[in-house]
Structure 1
Amino acid sequence: MITDFFTWTGQPSTTRGIHRAVADGWQLTTYEELRDRARSLAERLLDSGIGPGDVVSIIEPKVDDFLAAFFAVLLAGATPNPIAPPFPLQGADSYRRQLVRLLGVARPATVYAPAEYESLLEPVLDDIPRLDHRIGPVRTTDFPQCGPTDIGLLQFTSGSSGTPKAVRVPLASLQANIADIFEWLSVGPDDHIATWLPAYHDMGLIGCLLAPTVAGLEIDAMAPIEFLQEPQKWLSCFGTRTATIGAAPNFALSYLLAKVDGAALAEMDFGRWHALVVGAERIDPAVLRRFATEFGPYGFRSTAICPAYGLAEATLAVSGVGPRDPVEVITVEPGSQQITGPFDLMTAPLTDGRTWLVGCGRPVGTVSVHVGEESPGTGESIGELCVTGPNVALGYRTAAGDTDLARDAVGSLATGDAVALVDNAVYPIGRIGDAVKIRATTVYAEDVEAAVVNATGVPSNRVVALAGTADGRPQIAILLETADLDMEIVDTVVRAHVGGDDARIRFFHADSGLIERTTSGKPRRRRMWQRLIDGELDRLEMGAPAGSEA
């Protein structure tokens, strides 16, 4: 497969391209049209004095216009910096405040945005020029182009809805990771991508847009809000159109199971669905199995599910289960850290009360992994995952300047994620920073959260667990955006998971707005923890269930 970022611009297809969802179907922008728009914008950038070393921030909700701007920046030799457009119902003042912080980090030479954002952006941009959609004839094809060692992407991390931090990704790292992804998913020239993931984060940007574009594959693209409003339209890309590869976080599978009924599925045939990449957050094995079971009668194969682990600091993908390979799960005993398994997802006893971890496969392509602390002689290890490979980025850009990535003693990227490594397959456990020691045992917030979900059936997006130390004592907080729970069961489950009363356990409830999330939908645990210890959540605290001890 072609992975060079500019080869596709030589003789782009006049029939293939990006099919953007519109009210009455799909609107095609061919790769030839995309190339011409990118060249025209690149020429305007060069005429404006923009070139190598400069950053161009892109705020664009329409995927075809976004891609034209992204490649225009690369053709001009500059660095593209995607920024999230305003969310539906988001207040103008709130968006402007965050945009000021983002632009303060990116320090762009110009900003690309649609004309309809002019009144929103004008108070913020001040003296930063804005490059709009106007295109014209191209006078040259001799563009500087971003080089392999140049920064090909300034990518804000998913936590940048708080204190912004952007990852500096060289173009060579983008190309290497895309090549690894093609190998991992066995991507061929006839594959067809369907996506609704946001273009301003790594999974949607690199895996679902940049990779298929440089390979000239067909793309069906929806906006995230369109997926939430009409999830069956995304499914129809696989069931009635020709899409073969898609990606989604765990919550989206739960959402599809809740929103799409048998009547909508009856007209669909998922026999061509080659790979469903699942990542971006802790994966619930029960959701995977239910999805495979309920969609199986319509041609979906359980082996098409490809759990994956990655992070922006490693460009995108680190490990993944390959198409046609079974998904495997394990359990880890909290006290002894003894690993049991792996078991096949489809036959494992998931309802036996233990916490099950989903295997996210072995390292892709040129990537290698290890953990900081190993269990000698067992072939298994538990600890912080460290990553090595050409996909690893250079470092961060913050408001204070550029910094390097955290690395271990041998120079590998230290991810901050705890994993079990079994036969070189990665089983994510949780963020090390979202854990607390209780009786010499590390308790991860994600494990507590999963235990509550498994015991009560509460939707995973309605509960978040926080873990840390406050006033010298371990503390666990459960934040709930639902009142329809038996709190005695919740209390019992949490206490059993953390090992008794050594930790202070608190419960908080609000109908909405209690759980803060990043722009990619992940819980902002550190921000919520800070609000907790500052007392901002006290008014929402629920009384301890009868018989429990606060």
Structure 2
Amino acid sequence: MNQISSHGQATPTTLVTCLQHWAESRPDAMAFDFLPSHGEAAADTITYAQLHSRVVSSGEGLKALLPPGERIVLMFPAGTSFLHALLACFYAGVIAVPVVTPHHRRSLPRLSRVLTDSGARHLLTTQATLNRRRELLDGLVDQPHWLTIESLEVAGSGWSPVTNNTRIAFIQYTSGSTGEPKGVVLSHENLISNISLIASARVSGNSHRLVCWLPAFHDWGLIGFLLHALYSGTPCTFMDPLSFLERPLRWLEAISRTRATFSGGPNFAYQRCIRSIPPEDRLHLDLSCWESALVGAEPVYADTLREFAEAFAVSGFRSSAFVPCYGLAENTLWVSGTIEQTEPTLLHLDTRQLREHRVVPVRGEEPGTTLVGCGRVVRNHHVLIVDPDTLLQCQPDRVGEVWVSGPSVAQGYWRNQRNSQQAFDAYLADTNQGPYLRTGDLGFMHDGQVFITGRLKDLLIIAGRNFYPQDIERSIETCHPDIRPGHCAAFSVESDRQEHLVVMQEVALGRRPDLDAFIGSIQMAIMQGHGLSAGAILAVRPGTIPLTSSGKIRRSACRDLFWSRQPAPLALWQNASLQTGFGAGR
């Protein structure tokens, strides 16, 4: 601790020194408690002193085994053991690579790619996880050296961390492409920069508490909640994401019971609560404590915010608690978001003009598209809206690509110079101002707030999860003998304020398949390969799918075909929840 914050407390240079501070100043205070699936009582509670002791012991064990800078994959179930292991890596100067624990053989190729790309030769987990998953993990082509967190304990260890703010803290792999996984490299300086902004933006007060159901191995759950809680010395209650997905009421019950002030999730999480929690259960909740209800990670819809506020007003929820925000892993996490107990900013725009990337406000009673503002850009960071083709800054009334600069911008992609240069080393064409991070997101600035309109790239965000269309398309190619390889388009469409996957697949030349079996095979391939249900699947004639001059799929043009219903498909399967496109009114 060598700097003084605006709160009169020393600002840590790393999260390990932050843990040391809290272990000394409030050793017996609860740091984290992990809720079991029933969500009624704490199953795994840990104090700052207990966490510190475990981190030092395991960190010394790692120091004895691995040199600083060595990569190690962390594969942990939901619970405090993951945080313990991550901080032990920070302590030892070892670069952590968090991954989701695989449950099926179809998950192994991604794990293998992460191991290969990161160069990690060791994988750290719990003994119980290794016992349960060993037979499955034996399917990895290149077997890592297995370590368990229990085996790393070193008794009587002193305090001697191998870390500083310029070292790499961990590599966050994007949800990504089968061809080339991209690992976002984050330093301790990146983490402290971004987390300090989140902590300082909270509503002032001394009784803060966090509740989190988001995955701990991804940026929002890990940085926005767990590491944020550690940095600020705020108690954090968290749960397995499946616990929320199985019964969304558990999330709101945890907020009500612990009197949490800070929690959140993607738009779909609020939709799940609206649809699955009956009025009689809402009467038993007290959400008046909830000061900051973050909404992000996917498009934020004004109707969702309004419906949630109306549905849970009886529970004491206030719509002024909503905090729409924008961020991405390449900027550590947070880019914009305003926590000031005011109603979300809504902007009603001319839909036709918006499709042409023009920002033209219209009166609320007129037909149009309502966008939710994602708050102001965080302190010490800068956002530009840039034409992605000319690399010139856009006029204020035009939509362009969001570019970001500041201390939270990551170091680049691990061992991926080409993509790092494209994404992290952007300069304006006329002034040579830069470097900036190219986010790949489209948006604009209005009255100082960031508004996001879409994605420059074809990344699909469905139910809060990211999917690359080429992954889905590739998984379909061999699912049926009458598939025409290389002529499949996966894209998303919006219906009922949710994104739905649509797949358009050409039938092979000269083939006349059983179309029910053809579509059924595609459904099965998508479910088995990605755990995802399509909103619609179209079997189309050869030559239907538009291609670029170089033979690439024009997915946006395929989306236009879907909306126009022309040409008619050979066969269509459409989920009842998708009320637009072929076979229905738009």
TM-score past 0.5 threshold? yes
> Aligned pair in 2 of structure 1 residues 326, 340: CA closer, same or farther (>3 Å)?
farther
- CA RMSD, 1 decimal: 3.8
Partner of 1:417: 441
1:453 aligns to 2:464 (yes or no): no
Partner of 2:501: 464
Using the alignment, how far apart are the partners of 2:266 and 2:98 within structure 1? 20
Map 1:341-380 onto structure 2 (within 5 A).
Answer: 341=361, 353-373=367-387, 379-380=396-397
Q: In terms of mean alpha carbon deviation, does 295-304 or 331-340 score higher?
A: 331-340
2:41 to 1, 10, 25: 25
> Aligned pair in 2 of structure 1 residues 127, 47: CA closer, same or farther (>3 Å)?
farther
Q: 1:395: Cα distance to partner?
A: 0.6
Partner of 1:7: 18
Partner of 2:118: 106
Using the alignment, how far apart are the partners of 1:74 and 1:54 within structure 2? 11
SS in 1 for 2:299: coil
> Aligned pair in 2 of structure 1 residues 261, 124: CA closer, same or farther (>3 Å)?
same
For 1:139, give the aligned amino acid.
Answer: G
Q: 1:166: Cα distance to partner?
A: 0.7
For 2:145, give the aligned amino acid.
Answer: P
> Aligned pair in 2 of structure 1 residues 124, 189: CA closer, same or farther (>3 Å)?
farther
> Aligned pair in 2 of structure 1 residues 145, 326: CA closer, same or farther (>3 Å)?
farther
CA contact (8 A) 2:384 2:393 kept: no
For 2:496, give the aligned amino acid.
Answer: V
Partner of 1:408: 426
Q: 1:256: Cα distance to partner?
A: 0.8
For 2:122, give the aligned amino acid.
Answer: T
Q: 1:196: Cα distance to partner?
A: 0.7
1:339 aligns to 2:372 (yes or no): no
Partner of 1:503: none
1:433 aligns to 2:457 (yes or no): yes
Using the alignment, how far apart are the partners of 1:103 and 1:175 within structure 2? 27
Partner of 1:292: 309
CA contact (8 A) 2:357 2:398 kept: no
Percent of pairs identical after alignment?
26
1:241 to 254, 258, 266: 258
For 1:107, give the aligned amino acid.
Answer: G
Using the alignment, how far apart are the partners of 2:52 and 2:532 within structure 1? 29
> Aligned pair in 2 of structure 1 residues 542, 121: CA closer, same or farther (>3 Å)?
closer
Q: 1:368: Cα distance to partner?
A: 1.2
CA contact (8 A) 1:189 1:215 kept: no
Q: 1:401: Cα distance to partner?
A: 9.1
Using the alignment, how far apart are the partners of 2:534 and 2:325 within structure 1? 16
Using the alignment, how far apart are the partners of 2:128 and 2:324 within structure 1? 38
Query: Which sections of structure 2, spanning at least 5 residues, go unmatched?
Result: 1-6, 428-433, 460-488, 507-518, 536-551, 560-568, 575-580
> Aligned pair in 2 of structure 1 residues 511, 181: CA closer, same or farther (>3 Å)?
same
Query: Which sections of structure 1, spanning at least 5 residues, go unmatched?
Result: 436-444, 455-459, 471-506
Higher relative contact order (CA closer than 8 Å, sequence separation 6+): 1
Q: 1:379: Cα distance to partner?
A: 4.4
SS in 2 for 1:414: strand
> Aligned pair in 2 of structure 1 residues 289, 150: CA closer, same or farther (>3 Å)?
same
CA contact (8 A) 1:321 1:327 kept: no
Q: 1:364: Cα distance to partner?
A: 1.2
- 1:36-69 alpha-carbon deviations (Å, 9 max, x no partner): 1111111111111x13211121111133000000
1:59 aligns to 2:75 (yes or no): yes
Partner of 2:129: 117
1:223 aligns to 2:267 (yes or no): no
- 1:451-474 alpha-carbon deviations (Å, 9 max, x no partner): x336xxxxx25x23689xx9xxxx
Tell me the matched-pair count. 476
Using the alignment, how far apart are the partners of 1:408 and 1:315 within structure 2? 18
Using the alignment, how far apart are the partners of 2:442 and 2:211 within structure 1? 31
Q: What is the TM-score with the length of structure 2 in the denominator?
A: 0.73
Map 1:36-435 onto structure 2 (within 5 A).
Answer: 36-48=53-65, 50-86=66-102, 90-91=103-104, 93-118=105-130, 119=134, 120-124=136-140, 128-134=144-150, 136-159=153-176, 163-186=180-203, 188-330=205-347, 331-335=349-353, 337-341=357-361, 353-373=367-387, 379-397=396-414, 403-404=420-421, 405-409=423-427, 410-434=434-458
Q: 1:393: Cα distance to partner?
A: 0.6
For 2:162, give the aligned amino acid.
Answer: Q
CA contact (8 A) 2:359 2:398 kept: no
For 1:415, give the aligned amino acid.
Answer: T
- 1:119-139 alpha-carbon deviations (Å, 9 max, x no partner): 133443855322213154543
